[in-house]
Structure 1
Amino acid sequence: MTVPKWYRRPDGDGLVLRKAPRLASWNKSSDPDQVRLRDYLEDTAQLLSPQLTADGPWALLLEVGLPSARDLVDMADLDNYAFPLATRLRNEDLVAVWCTKRHAEISRVLAAPARETTGPGTTYTVRTTASASTTAYKEQVRSAVVDAAEIPAGPVQLQLAFVVGPQRNWLTLWKPTIDALDPLLGRTREDRDWHPQDGRITDLGLHVTVDASLGHDVLLSIAAAPAGALRTDDHR
């Protein structure tokens, strides 16, 4: 069976976004948030189009700039920034998505050929068998980290490496997987399951490998640490 692969963060300064990044929205299509999201996605796809002409595995990097008064570890969840853009750009060759947030007046985006690297030193691995839309999936993911120590207060770097079958849309695994990581991230409220403090994630790396032998199962490796402490040979 294929083991999870990890990919380097794309190198380079990236392109300055002409429209501010937008969070995923599940409102009706005519809602102003949806209209602004579509405008941002189309403009960014056009901006990136010269970088998306090469064949072969590629990686996406989105660097979200937020106002200096904004608390970086409260809300503004990175998977909700990464998901709509990755969905808009996704093809079978997209194997890694990186997303960060920082205090800055501008945001940047970069697409580049994917380069495999060694994984982080400490990982938690689990094979899930349940549908990702069920509580059972989250319970299986949580079982991998249930005995892990909660990461001390402050910003977090998280990497998730998935191995999936060819029919699986790996992007839809991001949210339910992160929802199950409250043992690492802490809970927003002690009495609420599946509501981790995921706003703490300021550096997010997501990787995928396809293996037909898995069928509908998912093999997942998780690496998390205080921001700046999680190292692979590519970490900047």
Structure 2
Amino acid sequence: MTMGSWYERPVGETLTLRQAPRLASWNSATHPDQIRLKEYLDDTADLLGPAMMRSGPWALSLDVGLPRGRELTAMADLDNYVYPLASRLLNERLVSVWCTKRHSRTSQVAIGPAGVAQAPANTYEVRTTASAQSAEYKEQVRRGLANVGELQAGPVWLHISFVVGPQRNWMNLWKPTIDALDPLLGRTTVDRDWHPKDGRITELALHLEVDPVMGHDVGISIAAGQDRPTLNVEPEGTS
């Protein structure tokens, strides 16, 4: 049985970012990368301010525009783009986060009510019991995918639904879960653990369900594929 909840990409007004999206940074607060990241987050939070005045479960969508000369399936990991913005906007009603990348001069952001969607046709189910900061957490995720074949080369869409107890911060699960998906995505280096080819993800959707009976365990449903287009390339000459 499929675990977790699945939500549609938010439908509503799409806003063009006034500053280009920036990747997560783990440098000190005074480092130029952190300063520029904070400026971008402050500006985007201000841009979204009126739309944030809503009740009920909601969803966030970030569409990252990259220069045409940049390879879409190498680096520019989507979780590293959307994590800072989701962290800045986070409240207990945020249940779905989407991020995509394409060739474009502009990037867009949208928020809206979280519309329930059907579960993908094929999902892989994993239950973890370890701390997300431990190697054992990643091992448990990878063992759950032991019989999964690697997707063919090229862009990939990846959707993950998490079921957590009320004490879990689900955003802390994103990176370690994706780091363990080398059975699906392939490895950047054959003999190096926890470094999948996650740059090939061009559409990422992350969903949340809170269930008190889970305690500190995490239920994870993973769906991925290449069977539908994810690259919306704007025509030459548009902005």
Moved over 3 A (4+): none
Task: Find the counterpart in structure 2 of residue 91 from structure 1.
Answer: 91
Q: Secondary structure at the match of 2:188?
A: coil
2 CA distance for matches of 1:104 and 1:45?
22
> Per-residue deviation at 1:146?
1.8
Task: Find the counterpart in structure 1 of residue 61 from structure 2.
Answer: 61
Task: Find the counterpart in structure 2 of residue 47 from structure 1.
Answer: 47
Task: Find the counterpart in structure 2 of residue 181 from structure 1.
Answer: 181
Which runs of 5 or more structure 1 residues have no equivalent in the other structure? 231-236
> Per-residue deviation at 1:5?
0.3
Q: Which amino acid aligns with 1:21?
A: P
Q: Secondary structure at the match of 1:105?
A: coil
Task: Find the counterpart in structure 2 of residue 82 from structure 1.
Answer: 82
Tell me if 1:144 matches 2:144.
yes
2 CA distance for matches of 1:200 and 1:176?
17
Task: Find the counterpart in structure 2 of residue 110 from structure 1.
Answer: 110
2 CA distance for matches of 1:75 and 1:107?
17
Q: Secondary structure at the match of 1:117?
A: coil
Q: Which amino acid aligns with 2:54?
A: A
Q: Contact 1:25–1:33 at 8 Å: present in 2 too?
A: yes
1 CA distance for matches of 2:195 and 2:170?
21
Residue deviations 1:168-226 (CA, integer Å, cap 9, x gap): 11001000000000000000000101100000000000000001111110000000111
Q: Which amino acid aligns with 2:105?
A: E
Q: Contact 2:8–2:115 at 8 Å: present in 1 too?
A: yes
2 CA distance for matches of 1:96 and 1:107?
19
Task: Find the counterpart in structure 2 of residue 233 from structure 1.
Answer: none
Task: Find the counterpart in structure 1 of residue 212 from structure 2.
Answer: 212
Q: Which amino acid aligns with 1:202?
A: T
**TM-score normalized with structure 1 length:** 0.95
Residue deviations 1:71-105 (CA, integer Å, cap 9, x gap): 00000000000100000000000000000000000
Q: Contact 1:202–1:227 at 8 Å: present in 2 too?
A: no
**TM-score normalized with structure 2 length:** 0.94
Identity of aligned residues (%): 61
Q: Which amino acid aligns with 1:59?
A: A
2 CA distance for matches of 1:39 and 1:227?
38
Q: Which amino acid aligns with 2:112?
A: A
> Per-residue deviation at 1:3?
3.4
Which runs of 5 or more structure 2 residues have no equivalent in the other structure? 231-239
Q: Contact 2:3–2:220 at 8 Å: present in 1 too?
A: no
> Per-residue deviation at 1:12?
4.1
